[in-house]
Amino acid sequence: MERARVLLLDAAPGALLDRELERLLGHGLDVTLNVRRVADPRRTRAVWGDRIGLTDFDPFDAAALLAETVRDGVGYDAVKSRAGVPLRAEFLAVATGTAPARRLRVVGRAGAGTDHVDLAAAARHSVAVTHTPGSNADAVAEFALAQLLALIRHLTAHNRATHAGSWLAPAAPATELSELTLGIVGVGRIGLALATRASALGMRVQGLSRSACRAPVAPAASLGALLATSDVISLHVPLTPGTHGLIGRTELALMRPGSILLNTARGGVVDEQALAEALRDPAHPLAAAAVDTFEHEHDVFASPLCGLPNALLTPHVAGMTRAAMATAALRCADHIAALLAGRPEGVPVATA
């Protein structure tokens, strides 16, 4: 029986790559690795070249991705992505069409979000989209706290000044976490992990969720009420048509004077132009923001937030800890193998 073919669009980093490949091969899969974003492609070719297939293309280039999909007319049974390579309707149509001999059956995401996949098109073409919800919950929760501490203690400003030889005295005493109320939009795995940590540090925590909030989170009556009564707002919702632009000019204007916005969810949840305008306005109630996710990322990264001193910007790294990435990579490999083998029980599958 022929082995199912799997294309790794963007492999796990460092030593985790070896573990990921061993896991996939251990499931009896025929693996092709895209080495374009591998840190040491020479070493990878030397170690793995006789056990797996190798290719080299930019996965964020739609034309290059389509060319790889139909290369030699073979095709792939599954593709796996870590960094959120866009898999849109055209790709799914070609990958499940008559051009390749093998029909795409599974898309695997080593991470929680699946907004990079056209889920409606995947459903039309009977492609299962699996992901790893919760794999980075602790990592993102810790990162959100780090963002908040960096902002309220002005760490970046003090760091720059001290490196420049300036002894920068604070204009006013800093605020302690126990003085602040944290509002969480989306109390799922990550939101609850953040709430538990924030509560242990003395913060009052309230939240808004599709399901009932659990302790230590007090339920808010509405988004408006949460914004108006929180000193810090942290976003932890998926990007869907219903959450796109969830935080815009109207919502930002409702926030408490001197408040802070944290976004480790998805860039499209916040209107970045409205956020930039609010941060430029000294009379606006919003004092600062920390943003780890953007509307446009990777090679097309651009944001009106760039250059604003009260905006702490990072390149979508909240979930990138060794533990979180290992859990996501290995769990994703298991999910792909199970679905290809016709064993969907217990495997999370995203739907439109």
Cβ atoms of 216 and 194 within 8 Å: the answer is no
244 is catalytic: no
Residue among 5, 236, 266, 335 flagged as catalytic: 266
The Cα–Cα gap between 179 and 232 comes to: 11
Residue spans of alpha helices (H) in 27-154:
41-48, 62-69, 89-95, 119-124, 137-152
The Cα–Cα gap between 178 and 202 comes to: 4
The Cα–Cα gap between 260 and 323 comes to: 28
Residue with tokens 């420049």: 164
Three-class secondary structure assignment of 172-194: CCCCCHHHCEEEEECCCHHHHHH
Strand order in the sheet with 286-291: 218-219, 204-208, 181-185, 232-235, 259-263, 286-291, 311-313
The Cα–Cα gap between 137 and 132 comes to: 10
19 is catalytic: no
Residue among 105, 116, 316, 335 flagged as catalytic: 316
Residue among 116, 251, 297, 335 flagged as catalytic: 297
Using DSSP, state whether 282 is helix, strand or coil: coil
Cβ atoms of 112 and 131 within 8 Å: the answer is yes
Beta strand segments in the chain, E: 5-8, 30-34, 53-55, 78-81, 106-109, 128-130, 181-185, 204-208, 218-219, 232-235, 259-263, 286-291, 311-313
Give the single-character DSSP code of 283. T
| Encoded tokens for 155 | 């760490």
154 is catalytic: no
Q: Are strands 5-8 and 78-81 parallel, antiparallel or unpaired?
A: parallel
First to last CA, the chain: 33
Compute, in degrees rounded to 10, the torsion defined by CA atoms 17, 22, 23, 27. 140
Catalytic (active-site) positions:
266, 297, 316
